[in-house]
Structure 1
């Protein structure tokens, strides 16, 4: 059963689609590169299809997105989510935080940031509390429309939601059929405080796709894999299970996808969208190179049956997926 009706949800003051376009592949030519005009044209095609939310700040993503949005007749109809990532110790003051936010505004050519997602590297340094307090003041001043987190674990998400009630609208974290760490404590915390999960890595760098069925385990050093694929291959074969078990999963997904007349990627995306607290799946796009904007629309209106879920659960139960929370740590631990 398919429907062209777009699924949406409320995020702060915005009503946004449940599929977002991730721009992290603009960070490096390792994903393949296209000219800026081609990238802007691809953004236009996405918006025409109803993919009106874009996320990420790496490389020239903010600049290109800002140029694209300013060219639209109604720029406010498209949402831009960006990040403020604090990787190294800095002095947290009203001046430093506001300067970081204004830099985002300047690069995106806007008078406020739609969704500012905050990443903090070192939990031992509790200045992230002061940083969030200043961000919430900047929101009151009108420089930020909505505040989200990025790669925050369950403990710190709950800590911040308790200290700043109603301030945080989202948390961008990894979630896929392979990486289910968010379904433990984090999902419960986000449900409790009405924080929406914005998920990335949902297609494991493109491994959760029809083209990998029957393929041999790729060599991570062959040069044929992009950075995302090297990362997720490592998780699949070293932490989650094996390439052979992954093939079992792909075959189950293909059986389900064929019955529904969709792709394996659609099924994998739908499974994530159906998890508690998930607002949107952010699908990385190589804009101007390869894009699946039309195929992704089939996720809307796809309903997985109880039998479909049971078939998927049977394969997942044979994996070490449940142990990832211990072997890797909670969401974001892999970056710390």
Structure 2
């Protein structure tokens, strides 16, 4: 039986693997998105993560499409109360994003004006009266953090939002936010969503600083890109050409190094001992890390999703975790870059 994990000090309990929805309306159409969410929910999944801007980089998509698809699915299934819905605010809305937008009528940021409007827009698209976890997508250097936190607090007081979190914040920015919340009696972030995987370029910064903040102050961690842009699935091989895919040329090659393939080959070795897949082992390793609540995965097919959900059937030994940690050590990554 799956044990749901408490998100930091909040009252939210999450399935150990979150389903990201960035691909909805992009590489997965609405029918496929419904299949994926049905499969996830049938497995006991309850944590869906999206953002208002998904996926405005697709031609003809002004943003909000992922939220709209989720809203139609929850209405059709009548399961809103069974799901934990997380979305984000900060990015530029409208087709083309920031290009061609008047600076007078900004449709982005973390100002009080934009947060209140963006939240109401997300509620409408999601067809719900509340958002379980509303997250600052990334920092807004033009807006004082106290204004952002006061706006979030107002949303919680109105009942539009249950808890607030942040994404892509540095350790000092997170500490600044926690301090201002405490000093001013405002709502406080209960979670952070960083890029984090065995191979992520930000892994060292996360493990040196952010992770320690989260452990000390009781924040949950819900990482994005936990499979290193697909590299940790094992589909990329040492010395072999890239496969044909939407993401291969963009995200994979820049991660390749001797260390990358040593990590992948170690995952394959450990997977062989457990009758598992490399991606499952990579996610199982992550679930053993301090403060980790639920990595957020993406999938374009039901088969991909089912494989990743199989992670919860994999139990790594301390020796397995240590072996993977040693070969992926970020001090080695720095040495590889320097040489």
Which of 35, 38, 60 is 1:41 aligned to?
35
CA contact (8 A) 1:9 1:18 kept: yes
Shift of 1:171: 0.8
Residue number in structure 1 paired with 2:59: none
TM-score if structure 2 supplies the norm length? 0.81
Rate the CA distance shift 1:292–1:190 in 2: closer, same or farther, 3 A: same
Cα distance in 1 between the residues matched to 2:248 and 2:151: 33
Of stretches 159-168 and 15-24 in structure 1, the one that deviates more from structure 2 is 159-168
Shift of 1:129: 2.7
Rate the CA distance shift 1:141–1:278 in 2: closer, same or farther, 3 A: same
Cα distance in 2 between the residues matched to 1:251 and 1:120: 34
Alignment of 1:169-188 (within 5 A): 169-179=190-200, 180-181=203-204, 182-188=206-212
Which of 5, 15, 18 is 1:9 aligned to?
5
Rate the CA distance shift 1:92–1:178 in 2: closer, same or farther, 3 A: closer
CA RMSD of aligned residues (A): 2.6
Report 1 or 2 for greater relative contact order, CA contacts < 8 Å, sequence distance ≥ 6: 1
Residue number in structure 2 paired with 1:315: 327
Residue number in structure 1 paired with 2:166: 149
Which of 62, 67, 89 is 1:62 aligned to?
67
Cα distance in 1 between the residues matched to 2:147 and 2:138: 12
TM-score if structure 1 supplies the norm length? 0.82
Shift of 1:117: 1.0
CA contact (8 A) 2:139 2:168 kept: no
Alignment of 1:291-302 (within 5 A): 291-302=303-314
Q: Within the alignment, does 1:206 sit opposite 2:223 as a pair?
A: no
Q: Within the alignment, does 1:97 sit opposite 2:115 as a pair?
A: yes
Cα distance in 1 between the residues matched to 2:88 and 2:330: 36
Q: Within the alignment, does 1:136 sit opposite 2:153 as a pair?
A: yes
Residue number in structure 2 paired with 1:119: 137
Cα distance in 2 between the residues matched to 1:85 and 1:232: 27
Alignment of 1:265-276 (within 5 A): 265-276=279-290
CA contact (8 A) 1:207 1:229 kept: no
Shift of 1:41: 2.7
Shift of 1:256: 0.5
CA contact (8 A) 1:197 1:278 kept: yes
Residue number in structure 2 paired with 1:107: 125
Cα distance in 1 between the residues matched to 2:330 and 2:38: 42
Q: Structure 1 unaligned segments of length 5 or more: list them.
A: 328-336
Cα distance in 2 between the residues matched to 1:314 and 1:213: 20
**3-state DSSP of counterpart to 2:194:** strand
CA contact (8 A) 2:84 2:132 kept: yes
Residue number in structure 1 paired with 2:217: 193
Residue number in structure 2 paired with 1:262: 276
CA contact (8 A) 1:173 1:200 kept: yes
**3-state DSSP of counterpart to 1:80:** strand
Of stretches 101-110 and 66-75 in structure 1, the one that deviates more from structure 2 is 66-75
**When you count strand as a share of all residues, which structure comes out higher?**
1
CA contact (8 A) 1:13 1:145 kept: no
Equivalent pairs, count:
305
Cα distance in 1 between the residues matched to 2:174 and 2:248: 26
CA contact (8 A) 1:187 1:277 kept: yes
CA contact (8 A) 1:55 1:282 kept: yes
**3-state DSSP of counterpart to 1:174:** coil
Shift of 1:320: 4.3
Cα distance in 2 between the residues matched to 1:62 and 1:111: 14
CA contact (8 A) 1:56 1:62 kept: yes
Q: Structure 2 unaligned segments of length 5 or more: list them.
A: 56-64, 93-97
Shift of 1:291: 4.1
